[in-house]
């Protein structure tokens, strides 16, 4: 009888220890998050809205200015991962929606691992209106770590071409209208324009090469899942 009681007590203690061990593993597994991220096939990534190039594209030298007034070149893209988005501060829909998704995505990244070497960058395709001060104010509304870039339109257009980004030019870069076509110029109307542009989010790897892109319609959860898988496979 006494032997049976001891066996029962030992069995209960082992069960308690097992529960504690499983709970600990579950909690620590949740905390490591991206450290245990699984890799995904190219097809699975496409289903999430991500494309990875078999051979990342080497970028040619470029030079723009960030929203703090500092020079930003291809050298700033090495040593970590960068997510680049082309847009402009007066954009009524795609830009604020995309930056909001990127903000949520960035906030959810583990601070000590993925967030530490991830840059989120918006390159302005509207150099006439997007001053350094305006870019600084705009980027801060989404996240203080986000970077805004601007520069001469020719330099912005050259970088966009390297990254396969299509966009329409601002009015100052378009073909001049026939000066006899009207009797006056509405300056206010000229300042109220929209620039069509691709909404894809471009991914640059730590070597500074164009690694792939995320579809414009991707949501922050899918973006996080795809990004973690891509980094795990790198």
- Could you read off the pLDDT of 38-67 as tens digits, one per residue? 789 999 999 999 999 999 999 999 999 999
Nearest Cα to Cα of residue 229 among 33, 32, 35, 40: 40
Nearest residue to 157 via CA among 177, 174, 145, 144? 174
Of 30-34, 69-73, 123-127, 144-148, the one with minimum mean pLDDT is: 30-34
* Distance from C-alpha of 81 to C-alpha of 72, rounded to nearest angstrom: 15
Sequence spans of domains, the chain: 38-169+187-233
The tens digit of pLDDT for each residue in 190-228 reads 678 889 999 999 999 999 999 999 998 899 999 999 999
Structure confidence by residue, pLDDT tens digits, 17-28: 443 433 333 433
pLDDT at 172 (0 to 100): 86
Query: Of 3.40.190.170, 3.90.226.10, 3.40.1080.10, 3.40.30.10, which CATH number belongs to 38-169+187-233?
Result: 3.40.30.10
* pTM assigned to the model: 0.77
Neighbours of 193 (CB within 10 A): 15
pLDDT digits (tens, 9 = 90+) for 97-120: 999 999 999 999 998 889 999 999
């Amino acid at each position: 009888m006494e032997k049976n009681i001891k066996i029962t007590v030992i069995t209960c203690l082992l069960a308690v220890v097992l529960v504690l061990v499983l709970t600990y593993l579950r909690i620590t597994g949740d905390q490591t998050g991206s450290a245990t991220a699984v890799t995904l096939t190219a097809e699975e990534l496409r289903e999430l809205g991500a494309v990875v190039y078999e051979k990342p594209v080497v970028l040619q030298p470029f030079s723009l200015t960030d929203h703090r007034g500092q020079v930003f070149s291809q050298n700033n893209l090495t040593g970590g991962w960068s997510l680049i988005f082309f847009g402009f501060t007066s954009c009524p829909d795609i830009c604020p929606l995309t930056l909001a998704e990127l903000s949520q995505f960035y906030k959810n990244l583990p601070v000590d691992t993925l967030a530490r070497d991830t840059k989120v960058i918006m390159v302005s395709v509207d150099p006439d209106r997007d001053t350094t001060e305006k870019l600084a104010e705009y980027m801060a509304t989404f996240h203080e770590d986000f970077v805004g870039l601007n520069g001469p339109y020719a330099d912005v257009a050259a970088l966009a071409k390297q990254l396969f980004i299509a966009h329409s030019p601002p009015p100052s870069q378009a073909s001049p209208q026939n000066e006899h076509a009207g009797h006056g110029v509405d300056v206010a109307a000229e300042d109220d324009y929209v620039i069509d542009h691709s909404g894809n989010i471009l991914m640059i790897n730590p070597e500074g090469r164009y690694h792939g892109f995320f579809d414009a319609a991707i949501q922050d959860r899918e973006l996080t899942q795809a990004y973690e898988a891509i980094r795990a496979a790198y």
